[in-house]
Amino acid sequence: MNLSREISIFNSLRPFSIGFEDVFSQFESMLGDGSVSLQGNYPPYNIRKVGKNGIEISIALAGHSKDSVEVETEDNLLTVRTKQVKKTDDKGGDEVIHRGISQRSFARSFTIADDVKVNGAELKDGLLTISCEKIIPEMKKKRLIEIK
């Protein structure tokens, strides 16, 4: 075991938790050397809770169409990125005097929990909305244990 793992804050929690080893390891890999690796601030986004178990991620994508963006999930990672689209002029060859609407490439990733399901995505009025849902398995729901 390396020194950074030995002094990890999660090590102090390990004796008091059962079954969280994967979660602690995931946080340790995200933190790496103790500093969270930050993605740039583009594109801006909001994450909000919707109802009891819903989660909605809204990403501002002015100037992008649904054909130029892809949303992908793999393991515990949700990634939104631009596709490789060849650039064409907006109006059949008209000269652009000033380009203030960014169409730069980006990739934004979110770590999602095992019990979060991505239900779908919609791009409307320059805002990409990704709908997620926290699935609570039967074994995690509150129940009374019969005493024999």
Query: pLDDT of 62-119, one tens digit each?
Result: 888 889 999 999 988 899 999 875 555 555 667 878 877 666 788 999 988 888 999 9
Is 114 within a domain? yes
User: What pLDDT sits at residue 86?
Assistant: 56
Is 71 within a domain? yes
Is 117 within a domain? yes
User: What pLDDT sits at residue 76?
Assistant: 84
Closest CA to 114 of 72, 73, 76, 57: 76
Tell me the whole-structure pTM to 2 decimals: 0.66
Note whether 131 and 106 are same-domain residues. yes
**Residue 16, phi-psi category: left (phi > 0), alpha (psi -120 to 50), beta (remainder):** alpha
**Number of separate domains in the chain:** 2
Note whether 21 and 57 are same-domain residues. no
Note whether 48 and 118 are same-domain residues. yes
Tokens for 1, please give them: 């075991």
Note whether 70 and 133 are same-domain residues. yes
Is 145 within a domain? no
Range of the domain at 46: 38-86+100-138
Note whether 50 and 15 are same-domain residues. no
Closest CA to 120 of 65, 71, 61: 71
